[in-house]
Chain A
Amino acid sequence: MTDGTTSRISLTLDSVIATVDLIEQTAIDFANRAGFDADTASNIGMVAREAAANAVVHGNQFDPARTVSATFEASVDTILIRIADQGPGFDVANIPDPLAPENLLRSSGRGVFLMRAFMDEVTFRQLTPGTEITLLKHRPQ
């Protein structure tokens, strides 16, 4: 590869719970191979899981006609994960702050917060149709 990417995996998966587990485990394996320590790799797996759960549950809503795309890339100093669904899309600005006192006892709405807590960059892109979440983590120097 000439763009600095040292390895890449792309998956197209069904909108089922097993996809969430597979994306988490793939992210952990990929992060381990990319040289991240065990704790960081576990956290990368967790946020990939959150993004995958968003795609399967909220994006594709378990629709068997819709798939989830997952791409994992490692360069010399970063790991980048993209998870995309084919759902109706959502506005991340409308997600309530889960740390606000009035939201602490809500039973949902913490996934995006956890992504931002453990990754260096989290971005959202609207597709037609769907949403793509990009997760980026730099390797410590």
Chain B
Amino acid sequence: MSMKSKTRQVDGVTIIDLSGRITLGDGSVILRDAVHEALERGETNILLNLGNVDYIDSSGIGELVSAFTNVRAAGGSLKLLQLTKKVHDLLQITKLYTVFDVHDDEATAIGSFTV
């Protein structure tokens, strides 16, 4: 399953709903473009909804890290919402789970941003 992204706004937070696989090739590019386009619009509070991302490889993990550092460099913050077990486990073993601010509930996640 290839990756798809949809972007929506809730209370000043840009939510990017991702589905499919974040892997080397199209998946990583779609994520990169979605975050880049949000930053281009001046949107720096970004919540990546990974609830329908069932697979990620090291390229996809690298893309998440790049998105995190790029948003931070722009003065904003990027957080993660609803990790699947696969993504959760990979972020745990790569010690990135503690780097990202991860939420299970969308309303709580939105409320955690300083808007």
Q: Which positions in A face B, CB cutoff 8 Å?
A: 17, 20-21, 42, 46, 49-50, 53, 57, 98-99, 104-108, 110-111, 113-114, 117
Quick one: which of A98, A107, A113 contacts B63, CB cutoff 8 A?
Answer: A107
Which secondary structure dominates chain A's binding surface? Answer: helix
For B86, give the chain A residue with the smallest CB separation. Answer: A42
Kindly state whether residue B108 has any CB partner on chain A within 8 Å.
no
Q: How many chain B residues have a CB neighbour from A under 8 Å?
A: 21
Q: What is the 8 Å Cβ interface bit string for chain B, positions 34-58, against chain A (1 contact, 0 not)?
A: 0000000000000000000001011
Question: Are B95 and A104 within 8 A (Cβ)?
Answer: yes
How far is A8 from B31 in the complex, measured between Cα atoms in Å?
37
| Chain B residues near A46 (CB-CB < 8 A) | 55, 57
Total A-B pairs in contact (CB under 8 Å)?
Answer: 50
Given contacts A46-B57, A53-B24, A104-B99, contact A110 B62 (CB under 8 A): yes
Residues of B at the A interface (CB closer than 8 Å) are 23-25, 55, 57-59, 61-63, 65-66, 68-69, 86, 90, 93-96, 99
**In contact, B93 and A17 (Cβ under 8 angstroms):** no
Contact A105 B69 (CB under 8 A): yes
Can you list 21 pairs linking A and B with CB atoms under 8 Å apart?
A17-B24, A17-B25, A20-B24, A21-B25, A42-B86, A49-B24, A49-B57, A53-B57, A99-B94, A99-B95, A104-B95, A107-B62, A107-B66, A108-B59, A110-B58, A110-B61, A110-B94, A113-B94, A114-B58, A114-B94, A117-B93
